[in-house]
Structure 1
Amino acid sequence: MLGNQETQAIVLGGAEYASQTALGSVVQVSREDPYVRVQGLGHQLLLPIDQDPERAATDFNTVQLDTVRLKARTATLVNGEVYLPLDTLARGLGAQYQTGKFSVPLPALTNVASRAGKDTDRIVLDLSRDAAYGVNITGNTLTLTLKGVNANARTYATRGAFVPKFEVKPNNGNGLVSVPLGAGAGYRLFKVVRPGSVRLVLDVGPGLPRNVPLLIDTPRAPLIVLDPAPKGGGSVDLPLEVARATGKLLSDAGWQVKLTRSAAGRLPIAEREKLARQSQVFVTLSLGRFPGASRKGITLYQPTGDQDAQILNAYRNAPASSPLVRSAVGDGSETKRLSELLMGELGSRGLKAETQPVPRLYLPGEAPHAAFELELGWPQNAGDLANLITPQRTSKVSEALALSVATFLKARAANLTGSSQ
């Protein structure tokens, strides 16, 4: 029994395992060889794929549950399909598990807080796990519906000038938060997903819009996409090596990272486009390939001007856009800030690099936030080739890229959520 549905499980080494397909109704499971990423309920788990089912059912492997790494049963393959251990999943997701039954407790509103500000008042709602929500405005009252969330009835008084009080109450299995909107007041609402916790933040004030685009109404945890281009004719797949090393550094630090290519091949273009559009950071990693070229060194290509994605151009070129729109579609300055951070990190490691504006870059041009192409060097140049194939060079580039991305996203989150959150 998985949730409220009958689901077939198999037993490996005395432990129950469920398939990736069966678990799809509860969490998002994605295979990213050599591990599996499990996301949902406010948690993120990384489980190595052990090709030996008997060994996978022991504590031989190390798994990552949010930011905690420990020895536990891990994922394996059965007839080519990914199977995951239910006891490890329950431990990482905060679910309840006993042989034959895997159940997920209902989400609950665990804490409510407020903060008065000069221009806006803030309401902070902490949930035990991720849950869907919806917003409705009737007259001058905003109603936030927390779907399937257990909430206790209570009226909260605040010290704010814009929201003097608000009400929380249960209603037909949902939690309702009713907030008065004063004359001319609007709101912004966003979600902050941290390891093991989910927070909804509602700001109310006269400088905010009342109409929230759907693009903003479904915020998500920052997604970093690393797009290693094909290696070309060389023996060393440097773009993939740098992507893997960078991805590991960021994943180990708790960030959400996806690669568009593995040793088995590259994702279809439609899937790469989708990841680009979902990303907060998108980086293509490539090698210079023009025959007979005398160029060398690292080059960072920044997309400039209008891109192929017309919806991004429309938002960026609008005469005045709300803070909510700007948080969903960057104006191009995000790419510049991240590029400057990366150039600094590369320079501090003794790596010379240059930047070059490019009118159009296809996949980075599909990304709504920071995006660029990082050309790692030129294998046709003997001096470059000698440096490119050294592990020290790969390590330096990966460390510089990972640190600059993490620094950029932390600063972006602080600007979005407020430093006190």
Structure 2
Amino acid sequence: MGTFVGRLVSRAGMVLLLVGAGLAGAQYAFTQFSLAGRSVQSVTLYGAEYAGTGTLSRLVAVTESDGVARVDGLGHVLLLPIDEDRQRATTAYNTVQLDALRVKAPTATRVDGKLLIPLATLARGLGATYAPGQFSLAPAVLSGVSSLAGKQSDRLVFTLNRNVTVREELVGNALRLTLVGASASTRNYTTRGAFVPRVQVTGDAGGARVTLPLPGGSGYRVFTVQDTNGARVVLDLGPGIPLSVPALLAQVRRPLIVLDPASIPGRAQDVTLEVARSAAELLTRAGWQVRLTRTTAGSTETSARADLARQSDVFVSLDLGRFPGVSRSGVTLYEFAGQSPDAVVNAYRQAQAAPFVSQVVSGAGSSRALSNLLRGELKSGGVTAAQQAQSRLLLLGEAPKAALLLELGWPQNEADQGRLADPNRTGQMATALARAVATYLTARANAGQS
């Protein structure tokens, strides 16, 4: 045989590559297998079937470090050494770790630089059913909910026939758990607990959704217990559980709206404060939590305003146009453009996929969504507003979520001066602001965000 021989054979829909190099040969085939009812690509090495990390991404997350592939999914962790010798990787002489158990099984390897995971080992670690060409998981079913009352915390146990991924969300004053992919009957449960009196279970396409009230001052923890009969998701909740959620998440339970009326010296009418007060009154009456950066004439320290901005779920500054010699008029909505001056906010925004991050910060899209809502409300009241993005609005940059500057008009313009003095006009603007903010926060809460 020469130093390199290649043959390409097509047989029964299979493309087989035989490559010889020196004394040893590397043999693999591109094949198809069924994963959760979908036909996807696999690679067969020396009779062992493998799949790439992209193919498996809907089922598990695969990372690699120091020559080991880590597979996370359905509550399991698999550690597979990466053996660059493909033939050796396919044998049962490799030691892999499936959760806490070390076993002999085929391990991870590479083809053309791409990391591959052995399907037989993956199925064994996840509790799936596998045969060549077929990889399936038994449908996850939430079969029961039980409770136990304690002095300082309550325990809820959700029984399933197999492990699932559990997602946690804080929505207003409620905790929501999603048992991903699990089916469940929609019903309400009354518990024996003092801190969690009721639980709502809803079955939908994404999985079983568990919603329960989260009392003030209570912490919680979620963990999974596996046994030969399935899995149990355990939730402990109550004042006896330390608060493990970062302090930055405290406002998630009840969104904070901060209105920031600019102080403009030399004006008899404090129109920014009037509009802010009226909007705050409307929002407060509707049950929202509102803070003003000032409530009387005079200015507030910038540091104090910035501190409130950092705590806000919605931050709206109200100002008047006041560049000397500029001939402008009308209402303008400004959004902040660029990176936040707060390094913590930037760090969270760069980790949007991590748990709870969407509860802590949001991107530019949230400010634009609020701006569009406010612009629509203003238009309904007969007020046309322009939209602009500015990088010099640093106070808006301190806000981790939706933030706007509402420029009410230009006092040096005669027409605007008349509009700013009209209580009907300023009342319309306050109503538009209150409606837009309430609509924005309600939509986010309904979408499972804060």
Structure 1 length-normalised TM: 0.55
Aligned to 2:177: 202
Query: Shift of residue 323 of structure 1?
Result: 6.0
SS at match of 1:204: strand
Query: Shift of residue 223 of structure 1?
Result: 1.1
The letter for the 1-side match of 2:178 is D
- Match 2:148 to one of 169, 172, 177: 169
Note if 1:289 corresponds to 2:322: yes
Contact 1:285-1:374 within 8 A present in 2 as well: yes
Aligned to 2:444: 412
Deviation track 1:114-143 (CA, whole Å, cap 9, x = no partner) reads xxxxx9xxxxxxxxxxxxxxxxxxx98xxx
Structure 1 segment 191-270 matched on structure 2, within 5 A = 191-193=171-173, 199-205=174-180, 214=246, 218=250, 219-263=252-296, 265-270=298-303
- Match 2:170 to one of 181, 185, 190: 190
State how far apart, in whole Å, the 1-side matches of 2:155 and 2:255 are: 27
Aligned to 2:412: 380
State how far apart, in whole Å, the 1-side matches of 2:428 and 2:297 are: 26
State how far apart, in whole Å, the 2-side matches of 1:303 and 1:162 are: 46
State how far apart, in whole Å, the 2-side matches of 1:162 and 1:361 are: 51
Query: Shift of residue 268 of structure 1?
Result: 3.8
Distance 1:244-1:216 versus aligned 2 partners, 3 A rule: closer
State how far apart, in whole Å, the 2-side matches of 1:352 and 1:417 are: 30
Aligned to 1:306: 339
The letter for the 2-side match of 1:187 is R
State how far apart, in whole Å, the 1-side matches of 2:399 and 2:373 are: 19
Query: Shift of residue 267 of structure 1?
Result: 4.3
Query: Shift of residue 247 of structure 1?
Result: 0.7
State how far apart, in whole Å, the 2-side matches of 1:238 and 1:172 are: 54
- Match 1:335 to one of 345, 353, 367: 367
Aligned to 2:190: none
State how far apart, in whole Å, the 1-side matches of 2:246 and 2:300 are: 27
Deviation track 1:327-370 (CA, whole Å, cap 9, x = no partner) reads 32112111111101111111122212111110242221111211
Provide structure 1 residue ranges, at least 5 long, that are not aligned to the other structure.
1-118, 120-138, 141-159, 194-198
State how far apart, in whole Å, the 2-side matches of 1:167 and 1:184 are: 18
Contact 1:185-1:204 within 8 A present in 2 as well: yes
Structure 1 segment 23-38 matched on structure 2, within 5 A = none
Distance 1:323-1:346 versus aligned 2 partners, 3 A rule: farther
Contact 1:226-1:258 within 8 A present in 2 as well: yes
Alignment: residue pair count: 255
User: Quick check: which has more Rg, 1 or 2?
Assistant: 2
Aligned to 2:50: none
Deviation track 1:198-240 (CA, whole Å, cap 9, x = no partner) reads x4332232799x9986267643211111000102321110110
Distance 1:323-1:407 versus aligned 2 partners, 3 A rule: farther
Q: CA RMSD in A?
A: 3.0
The letter for the 2-side match of 1:201 is R
Contact 1:284-1:374 within 8 A present in 2 as well: yes
SS at match of 2:177: strand
SS at match of 2:447: helix
State how far apart, in whole Å, the 2-side matches of 1:407 and 1:308 are: 28
Query: Shift of residue 260 of structure 1?
Result: 0.6
State how far apart, in whole Å, the 1-side matches of 2:404 and 2:262 are: 13
Contact 1:300-1:373 within 8 A present in 2 as well: yes
State how far apart, in whole Å, the 1-side matches of 2:247 and 2:423 are: 41
Query: Shift of residue 189 of structure 1?
Result: 3.4
Contact 1:247-1:402 within 8 A present in 2 as well: yes
State how far apart, in whole Å, the 2-side matches of 1:417 and 1:338 are: 14
Query: Shift of residue 274 of structure 1?
Result: 2.7
Structure 1 segment 7-406 matched on structure 2, within 5 A = 161=140, 163-179=142-158, 183=163, 185-193=165-173, 199-205=174-180, 214=246, 218=250, 219-263=252-296, 265-318=298-351, 321-322=353-354, 324-406=356-438
State how far apart, in whole Å, the 1-side matches of 2:253 and 2:143 are: 29
Query: Shift of residue 270 of structure 1?
Result: 3.6
The letter for the 1-side match of 2:326 is A
Deviation track 1:33-61 (CA, whole Å, cap 9, x = no partner) reads xxxxxxxxxxxxxxxxxxxxxxxxxxxxx
The letter for the 2-side match of 1:185 is T
